[in-house]
Chains A and B, each alone.
Chain A
Amino acid sequence: MIHLDGNSIGGLLSDVFGRDVTDASGRCRECGAENFVGALHVYRAAGVVVRCPSCSAVLMRFVAARDEVWVDLGGLLGSGLEPLRETRVHVMHGGEVVDGRAEP
């Protein structure tokens, strides 16, 4: 399956984070590689899966439906990226929706 770059989902990312984050960097929880968000590998199907360019681990997942979006940033370390605290943004950890973002 072919992939795109993180910059291709800049619009979706600014919906979630409230600003452009394609030039922010994040670290892969699996292999430790640090990359710009714009350089991450993006796979689009029913949802959007963002993988590490170095080891292919899943870093972020997004599912958008109507005007709401579900977000899982579980594969990313130390990015400093914080989703907006808005009702249309739902944060998941390992498949569990934890609205309000209490870290499990």
Chain B
Amino acid sequence: MGEVTETVTETPRVRTLVLDVPGWTGHRAGQHVDVRLTAEDGYQAERSYSLASAPGEPPALTVERLDDGELSPYLVDEVVRGDRFELRGPIGGYFVWDHDGSTEPLFLVAGGSGVVPLMAMLRHRRAVGSTVPAKLLYSSRSLDDVIYRDELDRLGAEVVQTLTREQPPGWGGYGRRVDVDMLREVSYPPDESPRVFVCGPTNFVEAVAEGLVALGHRPGRIRTERFGGT
């Protein structure tokens, strides 16, 4: 069971829940947990949510409300401090980045709330004082949808943003969906052997992964995490 100790409103649709989980033994950057809620009639629903906090910090989930979702409207709109729910984790040893002494640059590509596990990696990198070059390419619909907006400047990593639907006056970033040209301009060249993590909706991840392979990145260097549905 996890108990909510703090909530942070990130955007109108996204909230972070900081948790106290008795027996929590720590997590790795990029891992997720499965949250299970049980209704009064016994109906159970389970969904996976990425951990946003750096290893060593209390587990924090950043959840986006899906209007037809079974769990996310509750987690984003209704949960208050002191509420408890069942969770399992941390889970996953594949989509993770550890500070392990390697010097390969880190290239992270996020679509929407796909930024959450990548944020855990960047927070981890900052917390341990890693000098590995790191770059985040982050696609959102509009400025209001940008999660962790104030923190992006304080990560000590290069952050390149694109706003696909609406750009404010004077916007200095990109204003279209991620495409091969953008990836060519932003990514580390393949001969620098970057470690690449891509997270977002399925079609976003497909487009980015295909684009990177077309630019000469080895498929085995690209790790993806798709999310979809409710």
Query: Could you tell me which A residues sit within 8 Å of B by CB distance?
Result: 2-8, 10-11, 14, 20-23, 36-39, 44
Within 8 Å of chain A (Cβ to Cβ): is B138? no
Interface bits B107-121 vs A (CB < 8 Å: 1, else 0)? 000000000000000
Q: A7 to B94, Cβ gap below 8 A?
A: yes
Which residues of B (41-69) have their CB < 8 Å from a CB of A? 46, 48
Within 8 Å of chain A (Cβ to Cβ): is B3? no
Q: Which residues of A contact B89 (CB under 8 A)?
A: 11
Q: A3-B202, A8-B48, A11-B34 are in contact. Are A23 and B226 (CB under 8 A)?
A: no
Within 8 Å of chain A (Cβ to Cβ): is B152? no
Which residues of B (195-221) have their CB < 8 Å from a CB of A? 202-203
Distance in Å: Cβ of B165 to nearest Cβ of chain A: 21
Q: B224 to A39, Cβ gap below 8 A?
A: yes
Q: B223 to A39, Cβ gap below 8 A?
A: yes
Q: B202 to A4, Cβ gap below 8 A?
A: yes
Q: A5-B225, A11-B34 are in contact. Are A20 and B202 (CB under 8 A)?
A: no
Q: A39 to B94, Cβ gap below 8 A?
A: yes
Q: Which residues of B contact A38 (CB under 8 A)?
A: 92-95, 223
Decide if the interface of chain B is mainly helix, strand, loop or mixed: strand
Q: Which residues of A contact B227 (CB under 8 A)?
A: 4, 8
Within 8 Å of chain A (Cβ to Cβ): is B154? no
Q: Which residues of B contact A11 (CB under 8 A)?
A: 34, 46, 48, 88-89, 91
Within 8 Å of chain A (Cβ to Cβ): is B228? yes
Query: Could you tell me which B residues sit within 8 Å of A by CB distance?
Result: 32, 34, 46, 48, 88-89, 91-95, 202-203, 223-229
Q: A10 to B92, Cβ gap below 8 A?
A: yes
A23 to B31 CA separation, bound complex (whole angstroms): 12
A34 to B217 CA separation, bound complex (whole angstroms): 18
Q: B226 to A20, Cβ gap below 8 A?
A: no
Which of B91, B93, B94, B226 sits near A4, CB closer than 8 Å? B226
A13 to B183 CA separation, bound complex (whole angstroms): 34
Which of B91, B224, B229 sits near A5, CB closer than 8 Å? B224
Q: B88 to A5, Cβ gap below 8 A?
A: no
Q: B93 to A8, Cβ gap below 8 A?
A: no
Q: Which residues of B contact A3 (CB under 8 A)?
A: 202, 226
Q: A8-B48, A11-B48 are in contact. Are A2 and B92 (CB under 8 A)?
A: no
Distance in Å: Cβ of A7 to nearest Cβ of chain B: 5
Which of B32, B94, B225, B229 sits near A36, CB closer than 8 Å? B94
